[in-house]
Amino acid sequence: MPEPTTTTIDPHSLKQLRDRLAPPLQIGAVTVNSRVLQSPLSGVTDLVFRRLVRRHAPESMMYTEMVQASRLQYLKETPIIMEIDPNERPISIQLFDCRPDFLAEAAERAEVEGADTIDINMGCPVNKITKNGGGSSLLREPEVAAAIVKSVSSRVSIPVTVKTRIGWDAGEITILDFARRMEDSGAAMLTVHGRTRAQGYNGSANWDWIRQVKGHLAIPIVANGDIFSVEAALNCLIATGADAVMCSRGTLGNPYLVGEVDYFLKQGEFKPEPSLIDRLLCARDHLEMLWAYKGKRGIHQARKHMTWYAKGFTGAAELRKQLSLIETVEMGQALLDGAIGKLNSGEWWAIVE
């Protein structure tokens, strides 16, 4: 969706918002000079993707993909999903599991790896995770969730944060009590995705529950859910009163979004949009970086990323089909170069989808 260059939000609300969010975000002892975060996305937010996001949002907090704490017990080497660049800051390693002792041990390891904060996943709706007691099933086990936060906080010197949903299903929205327990147990920040576990990623995120959580707690609250544009991020921050906003699916094939929101909050105006050709050049970089970092596996992972970038122009549907089949870095480069050539020559042109 093309970003408007002016906003329909009234200037007074925007000024109030920018004044309110001007000071840095304080997560325990960690100071972050940005009020927009890149969410953890399993299969997406690896070190390569985060490098791309950081080109535009160098000061924003980012997260690794979720790492299973109990699995670390059997691994001497650091798994690739837990790897972070030596200079990447601020960075949170996200862990999931249900046993406080496993999580505490994994958190110690994450601290050694260089994490600035540890985030505990209490929101994942996937059956494979919830049936083992992790992710959003912890919403139904608040005592265990509290024990996890206490146990992890006692073993690391960095802040421990929690990311969760508003409840298990529409009949069991427990976020207010749950959030309070997380704060009382020592969580330094809480991210709330405004959907229930039963919703998965369907329907819309309920920002009003996030507003209520914000009114209920003293620790910073991060609003999450349905942030697909700068305008949506600003509306969400105004509607919820949250301390920060987290972008998720809106960043798929779009590593610009976090930087665009950050820019607006800092400068009070929209950042010039990348052109379609800029986006395809970014896709090319992404492909080459994945190849350099992960080899053949990186190419397979690149397929989905490439199809997310290829949109908004005539010929995009056919290009996506071909990109989803690439076997080598050269195949991807040739397809992207061909598309860039056609956009340059006018054979393909922008369309508003």
Which residues are annotated as catalytic? 124
Q: How far is the CB of 209 from ligand FMN (least distance, A)?
A: 13
Least separation, in Å, of the C-beta of 346 and ligand FMN? Answer: 35
224 near ligand FMN (CB under 6 A): yes
Q: Which tokens belong to 109? A: 């390891």
Q: Is 65 in the site for ligand FMN (CB under 6 A)?
A: yes
CB of 315 to ligand FMN, least distance (A): 26
- Using CB under 6 A as the binding rule, whether residue 121 contacts ligand FMN is answered as yes
Distance, CA of 18 to CA of 14 (rounded, Å): 6
* Cβ-based nearer residue to ligand FMN, 93 or 104: 93
Regarding 248 and contact with ligand FMN (CB under 6 A), the answer is yes
Of the two residues 261 and 280, which places its CB atom closer to ligand FMN in the complex? Answer: 261
Tell me whether residue 118 or residue 339 sits nearer to ligand FMN (CB atom): 118
The verdict on 125 binding ligand FMN (CB under 6 A) reads no
Query: Judged by CB, which is closer to ligand FMN: 123, or 220?
Result: 123
Under the binding rule (CB under 6 A), the answer on residue 286 touching ligand FMN is no
Binds ligand FMN by CB under 6 A, chosen from 226, 231, 260, 262:
226
Cβ-proximal residues to 308 (8 Å cutoff; 6+ apart), any chain = 252, 253, 254
Min dist. Cβ of residue 4 to ligand FMN (A): 19
Distance CA 133, CA 102 (A): 13
Stretch that binds ligand FMN, among 41-49, 153-161, 209-217, 335-343 (CB under 6 A): 41-49
Whole-number minimum distance, CB 183 to ligand FMN, in Å? 19
Site for ligand FMN contains 260 (CB under 6 A) = no
Kindly list the residues in this chain that would bind ligand FMN in the complex (CB under 6 A): 39-44, 65-66, 94, 121, 123-124, 163, 193, 201, 205, 224-227, 248-250
